[in-house]
Amino acid sequence: MTATNEGDLYYAGAANILDMPEFYDYDLTHRLFEVLDQFDFWWGIVGRRDDPIEIIVGEELGPRGLLTQCGFVYHKFSSPHLTGVIGIVGPSRLNYSYVIPVVHYMGDLIGELSSNW
């Protein structure tokens, strides 16, 4: 998932969610798919935090336990013209030892490449 301060929101791999046992729960899957397209939901989460890389799990992902069984790892990036985040959302049991370095690397790479725009 990627979001920018210009209101752009992109994601890929949503079909992979259906392979994970947590998302056999129709209500959870429905709530996740419902918020995947909501820029304000995701930007609201990342806008409240100052650290460049964050790990958000469970109840921190929304009011009334909206996505309590989910986790979100993201990294902020910026260029002279654009600010945004890149991240991965999935079950709260994400393989964090793998996901965190990948998200960190991609965020740094986007920041580095876009610094000359």
Q: State the average pLDDT for the chain.
A: 89
Q: Are strands 9-10 and 70-78 parallel, antiparallel or unpaired?
A: unpaired
Closest CA to 73 of 50, 90, 48: 90
Every domain of the chain and the residues it spans:
2-114
Share of the chain above pLDDT 90, in %: 52
Section 17-21 average pLDDT: 91
CATH annotation of 2-114? 3.30.450.40
Q: What pLDDT does residue 2 have?
A: 94
Closest CA to 53 of 33, 74, 31, 30: 74
User: Distance between CA atoms of 52 and 44, rounded to whole angstroms?
Assistant: 15
Rg (CA), the chain: 14
The predicted model scores a pTM of: 0.88
Amino acid (1-letter code) at residue 75: H
Flag the least confident range among 1-10, 34-43, 51-60, 61-70.
61-70
pLDDT band at residue 65 under the 50/70/90 scheme: low
Share of the chain above pLDDT 70, in %: 97
